Chain A
Amino acid sequence: YELTQPPSVSVSPGQTASITCSGNNLSDRYAAWYQQKPGQSPILIIYQDNKRPSGIPERFSGSNSGNTATLTISGTQVIDEADYYCQAWDISVFGGGTRLTVL
């Protein structure tokens, strides 16, 4: 089973960024999203498709339908520049990661 993400996404500050994660019938499974900044450990930002852990800003949201899970960052900030990884909870595999550039 594979999860496919775009290698890179660019967005202007204040705009909405969308990062996709594709897998066969992915909506049959819960998706999670992780943010990783250079030199740091990953941080969980979305679990069970659309839930945010405590402390994660409301501008981060998630959805999962059909074959695609989507991470949406509304009002993207420069501090959101990072690598983002998706994961299907019952299948121990990560997507390849997406580098989000905010400029």
Chain B
Amino acid sequence: EVQLVESGGGLVQPGGSLRISCAASGFTFRNHWMHWVRQAPGKGLVWVSQVNSDQSSSKYADSVKGRFTISRDNVKNTLFLQMNSLTVEDTARYFCARFHMGALDYWGQGALVTVSS
């Protein structure tokens, strides 16, 4: 059974940093591109970042470019999102998702990140 389990969310002050993780199991993690998608409270889905299978290529939404870094550990089957210079606009639930056949076919339960003073 494919499972994606996020962790590391929490409360952080504006300007602070946080790293969230996504532990993958039930599939060959190293074969799949992975994505982060976020959802602010009461709002829609917003794509954040993606990384290819071997981490040789990554892409970011303009709103997080230069502040967020996506990475992965294909030995530990874990996806990461390092978030720096956080603002209140970054408050959201962050989902990791597996990319397969042109879509995001499995999603985690999300990690809640709250940026507030």
| A to B contact number (C-beta, < 8 Å) | 56
Contact B59 A44, beta carbon cutoff 8 Å:
no
Contact A89 B103, beta carbon cutoff 8 Å:
yes
- In the bound complex, CA of A42 to CA of B46 (Å): 12
Whose C-beta in chain B lies nearest to the C-beta of A5? Answer: B44
Interface size for B (C-beta < 8 A) is 20
A32-B102, A48-B102 given; A41·B46 CB < 8 A = no
- In the bound complex, CA of A86 to CA of B76 (Å): 32
Whose C-beta in chain B lies nearest to the C-beta of A29? Answer: B102
Contact B104 A44, beta carbon cutoff 8 Å:
yes
Whose C-beta in chain B lies nearest to the C-beta of A30? Answer: B102
Residues in chain B near residue A94, CB distance under 8 A = 37, 44-47
Contact B45 A85, beta carbon cutoff 8 Å:
yes
Q: Does B105 touch A at the CB level, under 8 Å?
A: yes
Residues in chain A near residue B46, CB distance under 8 A = 94
One of B50, B61, B105 near A44 (C-beta < 8 A): B105
- In the bound complex, CA of A34 to CA of B45 (Å): 10
Pairs across A and B, CB under 8 Å, 27 listed: A32-B104, A36-B45, A41-B95, A42-B37, A42-B104, A42-B107, A43-B107, A44-B103, A44-B105, A44-B106, A47-B105, A48-B102, A48-B103, A53-B105, A85-B45, A87-B103, A89-B102, A89-B103, A92-B50, A92-B59, A92-B61, A94-B44, A94-B45, A94-B47, A95-B44, A96-B44, A97-B44
